[in-house]
Structure 1
Amino acid sequence: MKKLLFSIMLLSIVLVFISTRAGFCSTQATVSATDYKAGDVVTIEGAIDPGQNLYIAISSQETFAPKDTKGVHEVKNLKKDGEKNGFTNDTAIPALYYMLTSNPEKFGEVTDKKFGGPSFFTQKGKRGLYKTTMFKLAKFDALDAEAKAALTTIKTKAEWDFFRYAHESGYGIETIVKEKTQVGKVTINARSILGDYNKTQNYWDKGTSIQLDKKTGKFTASFKTFRHTAPNTGFDVYVNKVKAGSYNVKSNGFWLSLGGRYMNPLWVIIGAILVGTYFSMIGAAGGLLMSAFQVMVVQTAGPIGINAANVLRPSNIALTLFSPLGSFYRYAVKEKRVAWPVGISFGVGIFIGSIWLGQYVTKYLSISTYKEWLAILVVIMGIRTLYELTPKVMAKRKNIKAMTQKFNDAVAKAKASGTSVEMGRIEAVKNGLTDYRFKFWGEEFTINPLLFGILGVFIGIVSRSFGIGGGFMLVPAMTTLGALPMYVAVPISLIGTCFSSIGSFIGYLINGYLPDMVLMISIIIGGFIGGMLGSRAQKMFSEKTLKIVLAVTMFFLFFRFFKIEIWI
């Protein structure tokens, strides 16, 4: 009898030990609901063994591997980055994954993060204009057995390396995770390992609460779901390796299927109207400003596996194409102030650069380096534009000075009579491939169409790279190199951006990149309306005012290209 009791006791001890080590039976947890809207708070409650740390793995049921992408550029980039970062084409990880834990230090550490500024200054992150903190994920070999087991759906070194890449690399975040943890408007990393915000005060932990009583093992944990989680995304929840349940994230607003964001199209239309109005007045930076609107307001992300830029750029082109079309009737037909030989020459050069040469140049030239050279160029153009307003330069350019005076007289006359200003018209004096002369407000101007056609090739390459029209280079080139007034330069620029937009859009289609249709249609509507408004509004401003606004735009782009943008 004693032997039997001893055997039963021994067996009981062994079973308790096994169940404790295996992590089941003793762990009990429930998820507060089975369905949530994107952005809702998910709560998990239950109990674990007393004295244990809490590890709640929340893993999307959808996984992603580099082989799943259909993007031409993504295939190449993920293969190259995989060789550097330790994952393969077949390595699959959950598209969204969060670890809520009472012990974040098991998975990495809080480190300083320097960012902002041109590459020659930052030296690959060693320096930066700004400083913050981030949670740096540890290498797989540095994780202990407890941490590795708690990950549950991330099991191998390759999977962990891919997970680190997807959450800490800018390209990985923009292509795979789509969720950004930002300081200002600058992306630092993506949420991954989360602790209790009340204890850590880390900005990436905001919205996360973890309450654990180690004496009893009872816990309550909650976190805010990603506001732009795709509709009908399923998640599995594991508490200390034990599956506690599942939940589904439902739609929370109008979902842009390729844009990868919830956004009311009306806001996109309003934004496009504002940008389109500005663009058709100045003839520059429409694509770049629309791009900024998409990044900061719409937050266009693209579907999993496609980099955000390859959805944003094709959508963006809708503005640089349709805003000029909205202004075309007034500029070209009613007011007749389009210098067609220059506009067509520009357009042909831009078309060649955007649809043909652009694909080869951007293949071998780093976009980040590309942007920084452009930053230097645009700030020089901005300074030069302001310099042209000085009395010394205006004295040399007597035709512009005389034209400006005539415009001011016309404005004064219109105000006195209560009518609108009648703009001057372009009257051709001489047509030639290298020598085109015309009169505007009775003053003669000369320009070389062939020279500007060659310049258009370079601008077309830039246009293809950024998904913009290139007006930010066209207008300053015409006012500085061509010595043309803004009232003539802007309509020519809009013709050029139409050509570049068509060429760039064809290039994206050839590579298989499509815009989000709802996003694009909204931009088309807003851009066209903005084009009509801007062409009417331009004559309300003097030559000097338009040039000052153009120069300010150049300086804005300088800061953007050099990543001096936390103030945005």
Structure 2
Amino acid sequence: MKKFLPLFSVLLLAAAIVMAVPGSSTAGTTISAAEYKAGDKVTIEGAIEPGKDLYIAVAQSKMFSPADTSGTFEVKRLKKDGKKKKFNNDTKIPPLYYMLTTNPEAFGKEGKKRFGGPSVILGKGRGIYSTTMFYLKKKFDDLDAEAKSMLGPIKSEDQWNFLKYANESGYGINTIVKESNRVGKVTIFSRTVITDEGSGKYWDKNTSIKLDKATGKFTASFKSFRHTPPDTDFDVYVNGEKSGSYKVTKNGFWLSKGFRYMNPLWIVIGAILVGTYFSMIGAAGGMLMAAFQILIVHTAGPIGINAANVLKPSNMALTLFSPLGSFYRFAVKEKRVAWPVGISFGVGIFIGSIWLGKYVSAYLPMKAYKEWLAILVVLMGIQTLREMMPKAMEKRKNIKAMVKKFNEAVAKAKAEGSSVEMGKIEPVKTGIMDYRFKFWGEEFTINPLLFAILGLAIGVVSRSFGIGGGFLLVPAMTTLGALPMYVAVPISLIGTSFSSIGSFIGYLINGYLPDMVLMLCIIIGGFAGGMLGSRAQKMFSEKTLKIVLAVTLFFLFFRFFKIEIWI
């Protein structure tokens, strides 16, 4: 008997080693590989007890709890939501978690999801668009005993509540899970319970489950998340028992804080396009760059940090460096920057965004008024169009005369085959409440102090809503200041530069940093776009620029009202 003991010990040790190796077979289960690249198909094969349904829990090995976040705002939000949704600060769940099953009804059911449209009119929970999603059961106790035993690392009510919150709420997805099903920019939910794609449900796409109930043999596969962080380990549980593990490795250039795979060249190209548009009309640069980050880059932020707190600081690079790229032409070469107005505007915006906005945001729920801001935006768009009417132009004789001179200069340049020379700012009188200058020989008057006060208000809006404010600056100058677009745009770019600096400092104070590679790409592209846009602006007439501005304002109206959800 003693002779067999060493041999028996060796066999036990060998079995233990085999069970510990990733991708190995345990209890009849085999994972097709020990490592996969992000986005690859993961295949799991094996056998379960005949006649039973299949439940495969695939869970990220490293768990997350609200206590793990270092974000200033996230700590407060998760604590608040935890009380409401009934999970604790130390409740741990796997950020990425999938249940592949032949019996999805054991965990929840399909239901309608409405979204989009102004909540001030439609009310909470309603929307003008509709889709479907898979809702997990509301309570852990709604699951039967068998379903509970199949969840792998999810073993308690607070974990179930946290899992549901992380995968079904927009904030949970953008802060914890980082994977989502979207319609346009709108996050619907994150896939958790999935079955064979033969179901026809969009969340089951690229999932295959084949089970022979007579023998218990199965083959299940699903597509791993394309933006799974490099070197992420996953554990696999088959019908409640841990049956193996695998690792997801890098698949492309990884943005460490952007938390996405993306070729930096595409970011530069996107920033060039947005920067060009922004420096031509002086508005919507930050919003368009945000749309690019959401739809193309998919900027998400590290686990525990909300995507917005990485996306917005990165955006500041565009609204700061695109104006810098345009300043050489606007300020040095063409000399069409009204500096007293621009600086007073900029100082007001800076104070409003970095100081006053902080206190206003603390006492007033400004974000609740974002939809009301849409009303102001559409009125400004209508007014911008009205200003081009013959009757309105008659009242603004200086702009009418300037437009005539510009058109004559364009016609002459075309006839001579040369480029048109822009007019320049010629100061007539400089005062804190009375600044006069000539542009194309026509005199314009503006009150710098008034625009400094207006800058304070726009700075507060900028800080509260996380936007640059250019969409308010330009129409304010063309409407209230009666300035031509060729003068208003350079002033607006000064204002948004100050706004961006103030907002960026605000994020730094709260401990939020942008993704450095992402920011560098946006700086390069934004600067180049600023140079291109400032050169291209003179190719368009005053009327054309105002039409583009009005269209932009109407676009923002639809966006603030959540009617536009794709850009």
TM tier, smaller: over 0.9
Is it true that 1:343 corresponds to 2:363 in the alignment? no
- Quote the residue 1:180 is aligned against: 180
Q: Which amino acid aligns with 2:47?
A: A
Q: Which moved more, 1:554-563 or 1:267-276?
A: 554-563
Cα distance between partner residues in 1 of 2:58 and 2:266: 33
Is it true that 1:483 corresponds to 2:482 in the alignment? yes
Is it true that 1:157 corresponds to 2:157 in the alignment? yes
Query: What displacement does 1:242 show?
Result: 1.4
TM-score (norm 1): 0.94
- Quote the residue 1:53 is aligned against: 53
Cα distance between partner residues in 2 of 1:467 and 1:430: 36
Is it true that 1:323 corresponds to 2:322 in the alignment? yes
- Quote the residue 1:253 is aligned against: 252
- Quote the residue 1:441 is aligned against: 440
Query: What displacement does 1:567 show?
Result: 4.9
Structure 1 contact 314–467 (Cα < 8 Å) conserved = no
3-state SS of 2:150 partner: helix
- Quote the residue 1:109 is aligned against: 109
Cα distance between partner residues in 1 of 2:444 and 2:367: 38
Unaligned runs of 5+ in 1: 1-24
Structure 2 contact 284–470 (Cα < 8 Å) conserved = yes
Is it true that 1:168 corresponds to 2:168 in the alignment? yes
Structure 1 contact 44–221 (Cα < 8 Å) conserved = yes
Query: What displacement does 1:371 show?
Result: 2.1
> Structure 1 pair 566/323, CA: closer, same or farther in 2 (3 Å)?
closer
Cα distance between partner residues in 2 of 1:71 and 1:400: 50
Q: Which amino acid aligns with 2:160?
A: W
Query: What displacement does 1:368 show?
Result: 4.4
Query: What displacement does 1:566 show?
Result: 4.1
Cα distance between partner residues in 2 of 1:411 and 1:496: 29
- Quote the residue 2:380 is aligned against: 381
Q: Which amino acid aligns with 1:207?
A: N
Q: Which amino acid aligns with 2:221?
A: S
How do 1:1-400 residues align onto structure 2 when only pairs under 5 Å count?
27-125=27-125, 127-138=126-137, 139-198=139-198, 200-366=199-365, 368-400=367-399
> Structure 1 pair 26/70, CA: closer, same or farther in 2 (3 Å)?
closer
- Quote the residue 2:4 is aligned against: none
3-state SS of 1:147 partner: helix
Structure 2 contact 559–565 (Cα < 8 Å) conserved = no
3-state SS of 1:300 partner: coil
Query: What displacement does 1:365 show?
Result: 4.2
Cα distance between partner residues in 1 of 2:363 and 2:156: 34
Query: What displacement does 1:565 show?
Result: 2.5
- Quote the residue 2:545 is aligned against: 546
Query: What displacement does 1:362 show?
Result: 2.8
Query: What displacement does 1:459 show?
Result: 1.3
Structure 1 contact 327–531 (Cα < 8 Å) conserved = yes
Cα distance between partner residues in 2 of 1:210 and 1:203: 15
Query: What displacement does 1:391 show?
Result: 1.1
- Quote the residue 2:518 is aligned against: 519
Query: What displacement does 1:84 show?
Result: 0.3
Query: What displacement does 1:373 show?
Result: 2.0
Structure 1 contact 115–122 (Cα < 8 Å) conserved = no
Cα distance between partner residues in 2 of 1:124 and 1:206: 30
> Structure 1 pair 145/368, CA: closer, same or farther in 2 (3 Å)?
farther
Query: What displacement does 1:268 show?
Result: 0.3
Cα distance between partner residues in 2 of 1:181 and 1:341: 49
3-state SS of 2:555 partner: helix
Query: What displacement does 1:366 show?
Result: 4.0
Deviations 1:524-551 (A, max 9, x none): 0000000100000000000000000001
Cα distance between partner residues in 2 of 1:449 and 1:398: 22
> Structure 1 pair 364/150, CA: closer, same or farther in 2 (3 Å)?
farther
> Structure 1 pair 567/26, CA: closer, same or farther in 2 (3 Å)?
closer
3-state SS of 1:165 partner: helix
Query: What displacement does 1:386 show?
Result: 0.8
Structure 2 contact 26–243 (Cα < 8 Å) conserved = no
TM-score (norm 2): 0.94
Q: Which moved more, 1:204-213 or 1:455-464?
A: 455-464
Q: Which amino acid aligns with 1:115?
A: F
- Quote the residue 1:9 is aligned against: none
Cα distance between partner residues in 1 of 2:210 and 2:464: 49
Q: Which amino acid aligns with 1:429?
A: V
Q: Which amino acid aligns with 1:536?
A: R
Cα distance between partner residues in 2 of 1:63 and 1:462: 38
Cα distance between partner residues in 1 of 2:184 and 2:309: 23
Structure 2 contact 120–371 (Cα < 8 Å) conserved = no
Structure 1 contact 316–467 (Cα < 8 Å) conserved = no
Deviations 1:114-171 (A, max 9, x none): 111111234221x211111111110212111111110120111001000000011110
3-state SS of 1:58 partner: strand
Cα distance between partner residues in 2 of 1:386 and 1:404: 16
Deviations 1:443-474 (A, max 9, x none): 11111111111111121122223443211110
Structure 1 contact 348–456 (Cα < 8 Å) conserved = yes
Query: What displacement does 1:26 show?
Result: 10
> Structure 1 pair 185/498, CA: closer, same or farther in 2 (3 Å)?
closer
3-state SS of 2:257 partner: coil
Cα distance between partner residues in 1 of 2:358 and 2:308: 15
Query: What displacement does 1:374 show?
Result: 1.9
Q: Which moved more, 1:350-359 or 1:508-517?
A: 350-359
Structure 1 contact 238–244 (Cα < 8 Å) conserved = yes
Cα distance between partner residues in 1 of 2:467 and 2:120: 25
Structure 2 contact 36–249 (Cα < 8 Å) conserved = yes
Is it true that 1:556 corresponds to 2:537 in the alignment? no
Cα distance between partner residues in 1 of 2:556 and 2:365: 18
Deviations 1:322-379 (A, max 9, x none): 0000000110111111111110110110000111122223334446423212212111
3-state SS of 1:450 partner: helix
Cα distance between partner residues in 1 of 2:429 and 2:238: 80
Q: Which amino acid aligns with 2:135?
A: K
